[in-house]
Homo-oligomer: A and B are copies of this chain.
């Protein structure tokens, strides 16, 4: 069941995207929307809150809700977006190679690289993303095999997230991400065919994924070719 406020949110979002509400214009007032959608003001406000959070509108007390005009058409790496979703959204041609696909159990030695406790059964998967012909990213995953069973190389080639959410019906709740610039290793150079000689670092996005019950189940280390990397964020300073 989709909540009413969410439907209203989607409708207004569509209306912004197709310029029914052009950039810079004001949405109808909350009271007008109440009569338009025949609902309560709180429901309208929830819908507007989502639009505000995503950076689609700017609310101004005493004035109204203004549609924000964005300079950059968002390349949505922000949030938690998988490559598969990216491909569909942006019409890039992505080829995925899977050079490593193995089971392992965490030992004292591998504890530090996986950040899982000793004894945890894991999938260890390395994927290389070739975007429009350029070897762009190395994705290294450590995924708890007791929580995400039945993974195959074929699933890894398509979308692990789709498998987790649609097939296993697990809900990914949140992830902690860290972006750094790390030195290129010999292995990196082997996997990222065509990486220029003078590039000495890759941009690393490390991500620790958790389920709704806060279980830590996945660690991903994505290493991007620096000239192919871009990360966008919409950041609010305060709640007005």
Number of copies: 2
Q: By the criterion CB–CB under 8 Å, are B233 and A58 in contact? A: no
Q: Mark A207-228, 1 if CB is under 8 A from B, else 0.
A: 1101011100000000000110
Answer whether residue A175 sits at the interface, using C-beta atoms and an 8 A cutoff: yes
Range of interface residues on A (Cβ < 8 Å): 35 or more
| Nearest chain B CB to A170 CB, angstrom units | 11
Q: By the criterion CB–CB under 8 Å, are B71 and A208 in contact? A: yes
Report the stretch among A13-21, A100-108, A124-132, A198-206 that lies at the interface. Answer: A198-206
Residues on B with beta carbons closer than 8 Å to the beta carbon of A92: none
Give residues of chain A (136-159) contacting chain B, Cβ–Cβ below 8 Å: none
| Nearest chain B CB to A120 CB, angstrom units | 15
Chain A residues at the B interface, C-beta cutoff of 8 Å: 24, 55, 58, 60, 63, 66, 68-72, 78-80, 115, 171-181, 198-201, 203, 207-208, 210, 212-214, 226-227, 229-238, 240
Chain A to chain B contacts (Cβ below 8 Å), 21 pairs: A55-B176, A60-B212, A63-B213, A66-B213, A72-B176, A78-B235, A79-B236, A174-B236, A175-B235, A175-B237, A176-B233, A176-B235, A179-B233, A180-B231, A181-B201, A181-B203, A181-B226, A181-B227, A198-B200, A200-B200, A233-B233
